[in-house]
Amino acid sequence: MSDQHVRAVGLLGAVLVILIAGPAGTLAGSEADSSGSSLKEVIFTFSPLSYYDEVYLAGTFNGWSTDATPMRQVDRRFEVMLLLPEGEYEYKFVADGNWITDERAKRFKPDGYGGRNSVVVVDESFEAIVLIRGDGRIMLDGLGHRDNAWERSLNADSTVTLRVRAWMGDIERIVIHWLNTGDLPEDDVFWSREKSDTLDRFDSDGKYDYYETTLRSTDLVYYFEIVDGSTGVVLDRLGARVAESDDLRLFHFDSSMVTAFDTPDWVRDGIIYQIFPERFANGSPVNDPDFSEWYYKGVAELPASGQTNGEYFHLIGDWYDIAGLKVSPYKTDGKPDWNSFYGGDIEGIRKNLDYLVDLGVTVIYFNPVFESKSNHKYDAATYMKIDPHFATNDEFAAFVSECHSRGIRIILDLALNHTGHTYWAFVDAREKGTESAYWDWYEWKEWPPPGDIVSTPGDALQYYDCWWGFGQMPNLNFDLSTPGPEEHTVTEIDDAEPNRPLVDHLLSVTEFWLAEMDVDGYRLDVANEVPLWFWELFRKRVKATKPEAYIVGELWGSSPEWVNGRYFDAVMNYEFFRNPVLAFIAKGQINAGEFHAALAPGRLIYLEPGVRAMMNLLGSHDTQRFLTEADGDIRRLKLAMLFAMTYVGAPTIYYGDEIAMAGSGDPDCRRPFHWRWPDETRRVEVHDYVSRLAAIRKEHPCFTRGGFEKILAAGPIYAYRRTGPGGDAIVVMNSGPDEVTVEVPTAEGILRVEDALGTSSIPVAAGASGPVFTVTLDPVSGSVFIPAAE
């Protein structure tokens, strides 16, 4: 420890807090024996050359949250201590909003944005911390309650939920002492009239325990009492400390300063099914693409050679001919065919509603359906018309009505960051230049661009701002005062110069599909590439038009600042669902403890209504299919489906995953649906399994409305309990290659459990630490167990 020093930072009553600090810009751990503890003390230190007001630590241990882990300033450096299980963690410092790599770290990984994340490997060299409830020692650094929407949230029923965290296993209880501000005595002696409630421990992420209480008050002052054994400290605005009654600095919550948040019940209770419309079913060959629209001129025929590496839009005559989605027969560069069509349409979906209902689907999420040049339809020619090769507007409205009559809601994909280059406003601006009424709807750099209106310049960014340089998708200009991508970071409308005609148009489009077509919500494409102030206007218009509409954003990372009463109901849960599931179930890259730790931020950094409405997906049109990720192992696909149907949030099936469809990246992941699946045993096996899981989810409300509690996380075994209403359920999974027999803890009073996916009834017996039932799991398998009291 020659490069380390030990510093005592607080001695409060019986509480001693020790930090082991290393050199500037490094993190340090002692070489003490681990004593078998699963938590290690890790100190992060940031010594900046510039002045910063606030510094936070963000990383894989907190879901990359930018405000979950504040660092304390000590002299000219910032520090924070974390207790972490052994493992590898990526991190950065966030200083006044700037993401900064710890250049003194020993390891680094690409951050996906052209930079680097620092990496720390927590191993036996770090000091083990043994936390024991009731020993009278309280780790003050682990106690936290801050003024943010997750720890102080206003619910739709005008109650307020308050949350506190503590190091896992460290304390016995937390009590809140509070008063409505209107009840404060004139002498301001809080103690004389305070009310008290004990918080419930509702979750753990492997590092912290989380406690909460819900109070029926909208304007209150409060503080917390933290108790362990004979030791007690308070947690108030000054932090966790020993304090006398006349030295309290009370927290204050005023509901008039925040926005209440709730999400639609039908999403929480639902099973979402994503459909790429062009590839699900061809129900009406009459409307198959004939490429007669003006924007296909010159790009719907092959040259005399029969080959081209340019655009070639064409219809594939054989629904099951998918070879071109891997390597196009028309290209010489070995690339796939992105411009092929198969004739899928709305009528094809309507004719297969029985299939979806029988599967258990209650929500259809459509990729874009607006008239567009491409097969993916993210390049809209208009937002007001269904693509004519899918349906007419009247046919689509009738389809939505029929879906509603069968208990299915409809979500549309809406790309408002950009239009297509065929969009009527862009065409007008390209033709007329500054004389166009829509010139400012786009951000022009040079005009006119070369070529005719059908084509797009290869160097489109030289002429106009466009999505990631794709000239077919010119970006919309929301803020007349801020150029290009910079406008995406503007949060408040008062800091922008809104492009009012454009904004009004987009909001009218939003209202049209909800009010006139009766759709039930929107998935918002590349949501982080549209200003937040616009999404606030968008939410107000959506909820005013249809209060029970659902708004879900395409955001691939940690996004708690987006999920609240100002913006979105939920996001596509890539970060805290798909990514952990791929690592644990599809690939076996992490153990159950790491799986639990990777999932936990998704439950703990978002507001509870948002957690229950998360779009929990295994794959999408933008990813390899899950079965391909799992090397074709249908056992892993089935296990992932089991987890999706029983975890917190809305399970989301990408069309065809339920019949074991495979596919690599775009466009291979967008194959036509395999309607011959009943002829193949393995496809039938997966389909029937998913259908049974959907039925179990609907039969037991604990999966849609209940709590979540980890029971076991050891090696390949992960077990959890979903609690009430209507009774509990226990899920046990084995992601490993070997058969495993495991004792699963259960509650007192349970005499046996029933295997919901099988026929067995398993007795409960006395275990070393309470009642258990014993189950043997095949390799890569799992099941659902329903406790019975008699």
Residues serving a catalytic function are: 525, 554
Sign of the torsion formed by the C-alpha atoms of 761, 767, 772 and 777: negative
CA distance 630 to 627: 5
CA distance 105 to 116: 11
DSSP, residue by residue, 569-638: SEEB-IIIIIHHHIIIIIS--S-HHHHHHHHHHHHHSS-HHHHHT-EEES--TTS--HHHHTTT-HHHHH
Phi and psi angles of residue 305, each rounded to the nearest 5 degrees, phi first: -70, -15
Distance of CA 122 to the CA centre of its chain: 26
Q: Which uninterrupted H or E stretch holds 540? A: helix 532-545
* 361 touches 271 (CB < 8 A): yes
- Enumerate residues 6+ apart whose C-beta is below 8 A from 340: 314, 315, 316, 324, 325, 328, 375, 667
* 225 touches 232 (CB < 8 A): yes
Q: Which uninterrupted H or E stretch holds 534? A: helix 532-545
| CA-wise closest residue to 80 among 131, 34, 132, 142 | 142
Q: How far, in Å, are 361, 517, 582, 722 from residue 410 at the CA level?
A: 11, 10, 28, 28
Three-class DSSP category at 418: strand
| CA-wise closest residue to 498 among 525, 464, 536, 553 | 536
| CA-wise closest residue to 412 among 423, 397, 426, 428 | 397
DSSP, residue by residue, 211-241: EEEEES-SEEEEEEEEEETTEEEEEETTEEE
Sign of the torsion formed by the C-alpha atoms of 377, 382, 383 and 387: negative
* 732 touches 758 (CB < 8 A): no
SS3 sequence of 717-784: EEEEEEECCCCCEEEEEECCCCCEEEEEECCCCCCEEEECCCCCEEECEEECCEEEEEEEECCCEEEE
Query: Alpha-carbon Rg of the chain, whole angstroms?
Result: 28
Phi and psi angles of residue 646, each rounded to the nearest 5 degrees, phi first: -120, 0
Q: Which residue has the tokens 């099941």?
A: 783
Tokens of residue 726, six digits:
């209507």
